[in-house]
A and B are shown apart, each in its own frame.
Chain A
Amino acid sequence: MNYLKRKLGIVGSVVALSLLAGCLLSGTFVFSYMLVENEDLIYNGDFYFASVDWTDDDDWEDHKGNIKDIDLVGFELWATNITGTADTFTVYVVDLQSNLDGGSTRSEVDSLATLAVNDLPIAASGQTHVTYGQSFKYLDNVETLKNLTEAGKFKLFAFMTSPSVNLTVDSLRVIVTLTAGT
């Protein structure tokens, strides 16, 4: 019996060491990147456009070579509607190879880009806050978003449904929960 206990003790020790090694090798991390800050959406007269590239971001560089899985992609929005009309907020994305840019028309973006945030309600004459946890119910095409997120580069188009509603985006950041090695 003592022999059996010793053998099982050795096996247990090996298992425990493997577990400890595993703990050091991977984890779940939260990455955030500010997409828009203090911008008026009536930009270029029609929508806000940005070319996003976070591949040189220090936090992203910590993980980008070791990403095992993109668990969640969402956003946090702080926005102020300075008009007295409630409206909805929409975001489209495309990869960098797309010909769409700030000179494109809204209908071109509508038909060629990927819908990311769909009709998020914006209150009239006040500030709207959507947390990361609340953002998931407004997302569309999540798998495409995960692919663009992992690439770290894409083009972004944001606008109000009604062009006459002037929204100031105080901050819009993308937030990614990812599993990666360390």
Chain B
Amino acid sequence: MRKELKVLLLVVLLAQPALAEGITFGIGVAAGLDYPIVQEDQAKGTVFGFKGRVKAIPSIALEPNIYFTKYGDSDYEDFDLGLEGSKITAYGVDATLGASFGAVGVKPYGLFGVGFYKVKRDQVQQDKTDFGWSAGFGIEVGVNPTVGLDVRGKLVVIPTNGGASKKSASITGGLNYYFGN
């Protein structure tokens, strides 16, 4: 809970200068698929989440976000493990470079993010929160100044014990809505 409060405080602090200058902000929702990378104990799952969008400086926007992932049950090839997939609650901030931010038309962008990843598997009483990061690319299609369609793919890396990490790739589609345009 303390980590969540720190993230929330960071988001609020980052948003204050932008809002004070009357710069637009937006909100978004996204959903898609999440593919574990070299994780034999997980299978492809679903992800959905919410984000805010705040223009920090021209061409760079900050996105405080929260995403929920549910991996599928392990599909280990040799026999049925009967092992449930993990649930992940991720909350953090992404920075996007080149996003349209309320402009009409097609705009590709890159993104880099950091956040906390709470990985939980009730079946085995696993419940762990680690700091991780992500990077990827996306395309936003501005339908009009207030609505944008957003498609993005990103790699997520969650460092774990001993210098290893859990990795996944997600592809999501979503809708952004901008205020103040």
A residues apposed to B, CB below 8 Å: 1, 4-5, 8-9, 12, 15-16, 19, 22-23, 26-30, 32, 68-69, 71-72, 74, 76, 131-134, 136, 175, 177, 179-182
Q: Are A12 and B157 in contact (CB under 8 A)?
A: no
Q: Categorize the interface residue count of chain B.
A: 35 or more
Alpha-carbon distance A12/B108, docked complex (angstroms):
14
Q: Kindly state the separation between the CA atoms of A139 and B164 in the bound complex, as whole angstroms.
A: 26
> Could you tell me if B82 and A12 are in contact, using CB atoms closer than 8 angstroms?
no
CB of B163 within 8 Å of the partner chain: yes
User: Residues of B at under 8 Å CB distance from A?
Assistant: 37-42, 58-59, 74, 76, 78-84, 97-98, 110, 112, 123-126, 135, 155, 157, 160-167
Q: Are B165 and A26 in contact (CB under 8 A)?
A: yes
Instruction: Report the nearest A residue to B161, measured CB to CB.
Output: A69
Inter-chain contact B155/A23, CB cutoff 8 Å:
yes
Residue contacts A-B, CB under 8 angstroms, 5 given: A68-B163, A72-B126, A76-B79, A134-B82, A181-B164
**A177–B80 contact, CB under 8 A?**
no
Which of B81, B98, B165 touches A22 (beta carbons < 8 Å)? B165
Q: Whose C-beta in chain A lies nearest to the C-beta of B57? A: A4
Chain A residues within 8 Å of B38, by CB: 23, 26-29, 182
* A175–B79 alpha-carbon span in the complex (Å): 11
Q: Which residues of B contact A133 (CB under 8 A)?
A: 81-84, 123-124
A1 touches B59 (CB 8 A): yes
- Are A30 and B81 within 8 A (Cβ)? yes
Q: Are A8 and B155 in contact (CB under 8 A)?
A: no
Chain B residues within an 8 Å CB radius of A8: 97, 110
Residue on B nearest A68 in the bound complex, by CB: B162
Expressed in whole angstroms, the minimum distance between the Cβ of B167 and any Cβ of chain A is 5
Beyond A28-B42, A30-B81, A179-B160, list 5 extra A-B contacts (CB 8 Å): A30-B76, A32-B78, A68-B164, A72-B126, A133-B83
Cross-chain contact of B41 among A28, A68, A134 (Cβ < 8 A): A28
B contact residues around A1 at 8 Å (CB): 58-59
Q: Which residues on the B side are within 8 Å of A132 (C-beta)? A: 81-83
Report yes or no: A175 in contact with B124, Cβ–Cβ below 8 A: no
Check if B155 sits within 8 Å of A179, measured CB to CB: no
Least CB separation from B79: chain A residue:
A76
Residue of B whose beta carbon sits closest to that of A70: B161
Closest to B169 in A: A23
Q: Which residues of A contact B83 (CB under 8 A)?
A: 131-133
Tell me the nearest residue of chain A to B80, going by C-beta. Answer: A131
Please give the distance in Å from A172's CB to the nearest CB on chain B.
13
